Amino acid sequence: MPSNLNEFLKDFRMIIEEELSQNLQKLTIPKQLKDSMLYSVEAGGKRLRPILLLASYKAYDENYQKALSSSIALEMVHTYSLIHDDLPAMDDDNYRRGKLTNHKAFDEATAILAGDALLTYSFELIGKDTLLTNDEKVEMITNLSASSGPSGMVAGQFLDMDAENRTITLEELEQIHMLKTGKLLEFAIYAGAYLAGATKQQLENLKEYSFYLGLIFQVQDDILDITGDEEKLGKPVGSDEGNEKGTYPKLLGLDGAINKKKEYVNKAVAALEKADAHNSHLMALTEHFSNRDH
């Protein structure tokens, strides 16, 4: 197992953030539109998705340059989804990561357009990447759009809203998380390994890994909403309690949720072993995200 996960996270977060900013800074577009896109893209966050993409690449090949633009595009898609999700008509949030949300820092129309712009630009970015073959570009774009569109993330957002005012089953809850969060995580893992030349069998096993990773991520989110530190989280704890939103602790109790998470971690690790990726950063990342405190 690579010895220093924290160094890997720090280095790659920096690489990703530089690439993100550079790619947007160089655009010749209306100033306030650019400012608004940059505002949300530079608002921090764990950079989980691009880091997973690069870690997945590095599990099969060291020279990760080839995967950079896809990882940046993925983070742009994630950022657009946060901007639209925070809008008054959606979750109506004023703060994210301790900063004003995009429509509060700018205005609602600008936030809608900044989200649209980030989503659209992500495909242009991959389409113009000089390090990828056209076959690789099509594979990236087709999978990214499928993961984030009406059969993927957008469906998850829709079902999540739809479920807010009623009680849902654990099965429905998992379906929502699989679509809303899991699909992009799955893309991250798939895209990195695909670009690095992983075999079909390895990609198949990684799909199973992604499935459990998505569930781990969500259970921990729900647990942190009860046991977390407001300052570290950048949002009030107990915010899920006020509404009827289904969460793992609500459905299984806190201990039940923690046990469920352990079960998922074991299954994720088994899948990583089958994919010959257990000596990569993905292994340490799984534990890391399972125990994260924000």
CB of 139 to its own copies, least distance (A): 9
Q: How far apart are CA 43 and CA 45, in angstroms?
A: 7
Q: Which is nearer to its own copies, 33 or 269 (CB)?
A: 33
CB of 244 to its own copies, least distance (A): 17
Q: Which is nearer to its own copies, 36 or 280 (CB)?
A: 36
Q: Which is nearer to its own copies, 58 or 96 (CB)?
A: 96
CB of 78 to its own copies, least distance (A): 13
CB of 203 to its own copies, least distance (A): 18
Q: Which is nearer to its own copies, 149 or 236 (CB)?
A: 149
CB of 179 to its own copies, least distance (A): 9
Q: Which is nearer to its own copies, 57 or 80 (CB)?
A: 80
Could you list the residues that contact its own copies (CB under 8 A)?
A: 27-30, 32-34, 37, 80, 84, 87, 89-90, 103, 107-110, 112-113, 115-117, 119-121, 123-124, 127-128, 134-135, 137-138, 141-142, 145-146, 148-151, 154-155, 157-159, 161-162
